[in-house]
Amino acid sequence: MQGNELIQGIVVKTYNSFYYVQTNSSQITCTLRGRMKQERFSLLVGDIVQYTLNGPDKGVIEQILPRRTKLERPMVANVDQVIVTFAAATPDLHVGLVDRFLVLAALSGLKAYLCINKIELLPADRLQDIINLYRAIGYPVLALSAKEGTGVAELKQILYGKISAFAGPSGVGKSTLLNAIEPGFQLTTGELSEKIGRGKHTTRFAQLLPLAGGEGFVVDTPGFSFTEFSGIKEAQLADCFPEMEPYSAHCRFSSCLHVKEPQCAVKEAVTDGHIAQSRYASYLEIIGELREQRNKF
């Protein structure tokens, strides 16, 4: 089992100085090659590495391949997409909060899906309004019920072959959905109070959970925290609202932030109903927060 052959895999878990690397359906426990010890603190779950074997299930990491993306909280490399998960009810769906998560996904450079769970709890017409709102902007929307099994197969298909992170408020059913997709995950589900311990403890030590057959991975802790709004510039925000793009080029001022400026094409589009009021309200709210932060420093 000794060899010089470089084998490629993905780091799914780190513990002390051990890196658990998944290749096809086997997991290899790796250490870092001596000359790479400086990478000890920068090697992340999600990194693609090349290793050599020095035992049946033991290896040495020789190389780290370039990263495509990097999530900060939790720290995970190479996440492809975020499944922004909300419940149709219990807890109530607040579109303002949905928009914040979609902005965070955009800032991380990740493709976002909007996944609405517990659909059996909301009348079909109200659900359809929400679905239409986000589909019109261009977000792929999934409506499902982990409880009744609706839409779970579709979600599974979206996760296939990708590294996905689930984001969204507590209690919307993220763990239940993941267990429905892969019963082997056995994630704790239930009331918020029962889960606080796990949430706090695992945030720093995210793991990738392999989907059956190694065809894709999910991050085991919900992605994102709201602190990430800090550090972004007000002028960047409109880029996170894709429906504003066709209009912003027609504003009177090229530096228009679409707040109080005259002859703002974005505001006109809101008045004319081309941009949803709720989305524009979310935009103003976040702009306001960014201004407050800026004034503090």
Is 222 known as a binding-site position?
Answer: no
User: DSSP secondary-structure letter at 145?
Assistant: B
Whether residue 175 is annotated as binding a ligand: the answer is: yes
Closest CA to 191 of 209, 176, 208: 176
Among 10, 43, 172, 237, binds ligand GDP (CB under 6 A): 172
- 217-219, strands of its sheet edge to edge: 141-143, 111-117, 81-87, 163-167, 217-219, 208-210
- Which of 12, 104, 244, 256 forms a contact with Zn ion (CB under 5 A)? 256
- Is 13 annotated as ligand-binding? no
- Is position 175 an interface residue for ligand GDP (rule: CB under 6 A)? yes
Interacting partner of 251 out of ligand GDP, Zn ion, none (Cβ under 5 to 8 A depending on kind): Zn ion
Q: Which two tokens stand for residue 132?
A: 């239409």
Residue nearest ligand GDP, CB atom distance: 173
* Residue 130 interacts with ligand GDP (CB under 6 A): yes or no: no
Q: Before 222, cis peptide (omega within 30)?
A: no
List 27, 29, 170, 278, residue binding ligand GDP (CB under 6 A) = 170
276 binds Zn ion (CB under 5 A): no
For 86, half-sphere exposure in the C-beta direction (CA atoms, 13 angstrom radius) is 23
Burial of 25 (0-12, 13-18, 19+ CB in 10 A): exposed
Number of residues this chain uses to bind ligand GDP (CB under 6 A): 15
Q: Cβ neighbours of residue 264 under 8 Å, at least 6 residues apart?
A: 251, 252, 256, 258
Is there a binding annotation on residue 258?
yes
Does the annotation flag 37 for ligand binding?
Answer: no
Q: Which is nearer to ligand GDP, 29 or 150 (CB)?
A: 150
Q: Which of 92, 152, 173, 177 is nearest to 126 (CA)?
A: 92
Find all residues with CB under 8 Å of 205, minimum gap 6, and list them.
14, 74
266 binds, among ligand GDP, Zn ion, none (CB under 5 to 8 A by kind): Zn ion
Q: Is 115 annotated as a binding residue?
A: no
**Which among ligand GDP, Zn ion, none contacts residue 256 (Cβ within 5 to 8 A by kind)?**
Zn ion
* Those residues with Cβ within 8 angstroms of residue 182's Cβ, 6 or more apart along the chain or in another chain: 209, 211, 212
Contact flag: residue 118 with ligand GDP (CB under 6 A): yes
Q: Which of residues 40-69 bind Zn ion (CB under 5 A)?
A: none
Question: What residue numbers does the annotated binding site for Zn(2+) cover?
Answer: 251, 256, 258, 264
Chain residues binding ligand GDP by CB under 6 A are 117-118, 121, 145-147, 170-176, 189-190
